[in-house]
Amino acid sequence: MPQGKIPCEHHVVVPDLEMATLVEAPNGVKREGKHYYSMEMATLVEAPNGVKREGKHYYSMWQTLFEIDTKYVPIKPIGRGGYGVVCSSINRETNEKVAIKKINNVFENCVDALRTLRELKPLGHIRHENVIALKDVMMPT
């Protein structure tokens, strides 16, 4: 290899780090001084069973189907937890960047439904710079 050249077959330069998601190292083995990013974006998909609801479009992120109002344009997944996946999106009407949380099987049992209600209720009333505001609720089909 010529002097001064660095092999980079396994490196990707990310032009906009905000578009990347920090992920775990492959096989859980992290090399010292290295960070690992995923550039997975929201993928537009067909409606389940081919039945599209008016005013909705469908995206897949991290093997999770999002049925989202058409006023929102999802960008990429930003987090995952025990109850669902969160993605960043843009509200086309206001051009505001928002987060959409998809809560899986929210109405399958009373405990999860109540927990979700307890999470949502105060967010609708609290206005503080350090607390995320509840902008909208999209009900499942």
Annotated binding site for ATP: 102
3-state secondary structure of 5: coil
3-state secondary structure of 83: coil
Binding-site positions:
102
- Cα(101)–Cα(62) distance, rounded to whole angstroms? 13
**Tokens 């959409």 identify what position?**
100
CB 117 within 8 A of CB 110: no
CB 103 within 8 A of CB 116: yes
